[in-house]
A and B are shown apart, each in its own frame.
Chain A
Amino acid sequence: MLQSIVSYGLAVGAVYALIGITYNVMYSASRVFSFTAGMLGMLGGVLGALFIQKMGINAVLGFVMVLACGAVLGIVTELLTVRPVLKSIEQHLYVLSTLAFALMIQQVTAIEWGTEAQPFPVLLPIGEGWLDQKFWLPLLACAVTIGGLEFLYRYTLIGRAFLAIAEDNYAARALGLPETWLRIASFALAGMIGTLAGFTGAQMLLAFFGNQSILNFYGFVPVALGGMGSNRGAVIGGLALGLFQQAANFLVGGIFAAVAVFAVFIVVLLLRPEGIAGASTARRV
């Protein structure tokens, strides 16, 4: 039992962590929290099953196509729902615009794909039992993503430009950094990370349109607790959340797990609105 708690918990946690990183990547470039993170995760599974299972496309090609769709959706998100409301960001209209867009995509999925959860194909028949690929695949995806982002931020100019824009948008613009393009690139990147999460987690979570709201919330919890913009916080928080959920599921039942996560989320945020590791807010007057 311990093995399955750990393997399943870590795997789900890795999916949460990746969705958390998706939130972060979008937030860093735009200061916008986007409800499309869960949508991307949901679509990663649905599109993967569609391409590989239904349409019989080769798994590698299908995977690349899923990521490409994620990038395109990320760009559409930026153009359609973020850029128009960015000028008056203090009105928080992005909450509604990104939510509306995510819901539209979710509804199209529900109608065209169906409201039943459908199985996701086995990609690499490696490992069995608690070492099954469906458990280590999300963890691998998470590790690759973290490594890739680290490389990007450390060794490329565009990666440093991402960091610069995240730290001080105004100074970055003054230096002549192409803020708009960097924001689009960030959203495309977030789109790929989000669909990667859904794709690698879909054997556990299935290809199901309802995953959207679940991933939206459970992907946000680690980010909110770890501090917005901190990928390390998202990974630690995500894995911890996954483990906690599975342990509670097995030991005391699902009601308690759900309520406990929510209670912890609210209590921590009420005590430390900026997250456990976050910085405090600026002055208002």
Chain B
Amino acid sequence: MTEITTPIRAGGASTGWLGRLEGKLSWILLGLAGLALPLLDDSYMGTIATRAYIYWVLSAGLNLVVGYAGQIAIGWVSMLTLGAYTTAALAAGRVGPEWPVYLALLAGGGVGAVFGVVVGLPALRLRTFYFAMTTLGFATIATQVALAWKDVTGGGVGTPGPVFPWPFDPGWGFYYFCFLLAAVATWITANIGSSRYGRALVAIRDAEVAAEASGIAKPRLLVLIFLLAGALGGIAGGLFASLQSYITPDAFTFEMSVLFFIGILIGGRGSILGPALGTLILTVLPEIAAPLVQWSTFLYAALLLLIVLVIPGGIADLLDYRNRRPLEQHREIVPRPDLLPRVLGDQNARTLIALKGIRLHFGGVKAIDGLDLEIHGGEVHGLIGPNGSGKTTTLNVVSGYYRPREGSLRVDGSDLPFERPHVRAQWRIARTFQTPRVVGAASVLENVMIGGTVHGHGTFAESMLSLPRHRLDERVLREAAMLALATVGLESLASVRADRLQHSELRFVEIARALVLRPACLMLDEPAAGLSAEEIRRLGGLIKAISRAGTAVLLVEHHADLIFDICDRVTVLNLGKVLAAGTPEEIRSHREVVSAYLGA
């Protein structure tokens, strides 16, 4: 027990330079500065700061969409437009009776939330550019509608913004109101960012298929995020309308979207403090350097181009000193299979995955042609065969990517639905990929924690407010992930960014991620590819030990020696059919197999 508790603490940090700054101190300083600003009694500065807070309320939500989920929502200014006009129109009584201003602001947030989902929905189906274009189109149309719908918006003439009554009346009262809301937005989004939901968003961004395999349901998660980001955008709009005191469609230019967007990109993806500082700086900068005002959008765009071309990771990457410190050169992966019983727990039930009569066609090609296969708990089952024989396709059928024309897939007697990859984790079926699919920008530990997403109990709202159940989830998951890392022999790299690891280490990270799920069935897709002979030997030992702990292991592999070394059963596929099945010894001396493998 003791030898594991130490590394668990060692790997506790989150990513990067900004990550460490995010440890409270900088926030406290920012907060104190914000609280103390009115002491200067400079109303011009107060207005600028208020504007920055308002922008940040929107950007905080947008940051989850852009920085975490990686969705290029370039037209988010439309949420500001909607929130502003909703609040202004309701408060001014342009639609029905006059609403109380605070209630109107809430309504602005509500409208923002609804349209956040409407605009966001296409992200679930569409390719990146299409989605970017949808948000841009929506922003264009929101302005056109604002111009044309004169009854409500006042058209080109505009409409007065709402005035908040005491205690947040114009002046410093309103300043504190915006400050408070900015603080709340920060807290909420930071909680989400560091929760399993935040990690899931990043996983969707950088390793979508692995995220699905870890049980992350992209649609549900994105809808929640768009809801939140839309609501924050709408509320920011209501505040903006009040700050402007008079709003016309001209006030909501597309250039503002660019400001929000670049503030986030400068700050770096997957950070909260960075984008907050980015937004603050971009808002304040043109005010200080007056001649820049005219050229500010040009400069923002130039900055965007520069960041994309030179440092796609944002300024945060540039300042990430800790992750530039060289790693030890000659690292060895020394798995500790003895820890497996603790990682996997009791696998008392003997799992049985049974494929029966599977037929799958791609166009006219028979990829799988009547396949029967049983994978037993406690055994390593090797799957070999020439290219195009259907090995990976079989694995993808079990993983839920394809729907066969015929056949059944059962786990311990109950049917497993086809074409539902994200439910596999609930059935405790884990897998690795031919090319490791990890989140390069996240730490190794965070990557492994993604594998245990389905074990969390806290809801989105609980995570948002950092309630006890959320905190318990985090602690349990972190410990499980450290234990899994120790098992594969990588605990010393827990806090390192995953993209700094060698290829062979990434293979073991994927196995650790799979182990956190406590899988009843583990499918490995060519885990030995690209590994040295010594690494393959250790991998073999680890795989065998995993199976002996009770997990059913399906191993697709080209390295014949590894297959014959560790498998309990081997199935040979050829042209989508089983050519032979049996013990390694039987297969090794099977004439037809040898010739199929060598080419007939």
In-complex A–B contact (CB below 8 Å): yes
**Residue B35 at the A interface, CB < 8 A?**
no
Distance of A254 from chain B, by nearest CB (Å): 4
Q: Which residue of A lies closest to B144 (CB)?
A: A258
**Residue A93 at the B interface, CB < 8 A?**
yes
Q: Which residue of B lies closest to A27 (CB)?
A: B129
Residues of A in contact, count (CB < 8 Å): 41
**Residue A251 at the B interface, CB < 8 A?**
no
Contacts of B121 in A (CB 8 A): 266, 270
Contacts of A255 in B (CB 8 A): 144-145, 148-149
Which one, A100, A103, A216, A224, contacts B130 given CB within 8 A? A224
Check A220–B295 contact: CB distance below 8 A.
Answer: no
**Residue A156 at the B interface, CB < 8 A?**
no
Contacts of B145 in A (CB 8 A): 255, 258-259
**Residue A217 at the B interface, CB < 8 A?**
yes
**Residue A265 at the B interface, CB < 8 A?**
yes
**Residue B316 at the A interface, CB < 8 A?**
no
Check B312–A93 contact: CB distance below 8 A.
Answer: yes
Distance of A278 from chain B, by nearest CB (Å): 11
Distance of B563 from chain A, by nearest CB (Å): 22
Q: Which residue of A lies closest to B72 (CB)?
A: A95
**Residue A250 at the B interface, CB < 8 A?**
no
**Residue A101 at the B interface, CB < 8 A?**
yes
Comparing A104-112, A167-175, A197-205, the segment that makes contact with chain B is A104-112
**Residue A8 at the B interface, CB < 8 A?**
no
Which one, B122, B140, B309, B401, contacts A269 given CB within 8 A? B122
**Residue A285 at the B interface, CB < 8 A?**
yes
Residues of B in contact, count (CB < 8 Å): 48
Check A85–B309 contact: CB distance below 8 A.
Answer: yes
Contact status of A266 and B134, CB under 8 A, knowing A258-B141, A258-B144: yes
Expressed in whole angstroms, the Cα–Cα distance for A220 and B130 within the complex equals 9
**Residue B74 at the A interface, CB < 8 A?**
yes
Expressed in whole angstroms, the Cα–Cα distance for A92 and B139 within the complex equals 21
Contacts of A221 in B (CB 8 A): 137
Contacts of B133 in A (CB 8 A): 33, 216-217, 220, 224
- Residues 289-331 of chain B, each 1 if its beta carbon lies under 8 Å from chain A, else 0: 0000011011011101100110010000000000000000000
Q: Please indicate which of the listed interface residues B308, B392, B396 has the most CB atoms of chain A within 10 Å of its own CB.
A: B308
Expressed in whole angstroms, the Cα–Cα distance for A255 and B255 within the complex equals 23
Check A265–B72 contact: CB distance below 8 A.
Answer: no
**Residue A117 at the B interface, CB < 8 A?**
no
Q: B residues bordering A, Cβ < 8 Å?
A: 72, 74, 118, 121-122, 125-130, 132-134, 136-141, 144-145, 147-149, 208-209, 254-255, 258, 265, 294-295, 297-298, 300-302, 304-305, 308-309, 312, 392, 396, 399, 401, 433
If A93-B312, A95-B129, A103-B301 are given as contacts, then 8 extra A-B residue pairs at C-beta distance below 8 Å, sorted by A number, are: A97-B305, A104-B302, A104-B305, A213-B254, A217-B137, A265-B137, A273-B130, A285-B401
Give 24 pairs: A residue, B residue, CB < 8 Å, sorted on A. A81-B305, A85-B308, A85-B309, A92-B129, A96-B308, A97-B309, A100-B308, A101-B301, A103-B255, A103-B258, A104-B301, A107-B255, A107-B301, A213-B139, A217-B133, A224-B130, A259-B141, A259-B145, A266-B118, A269-B126, A269-B130, A273-B126, A273-B130, A284-B209
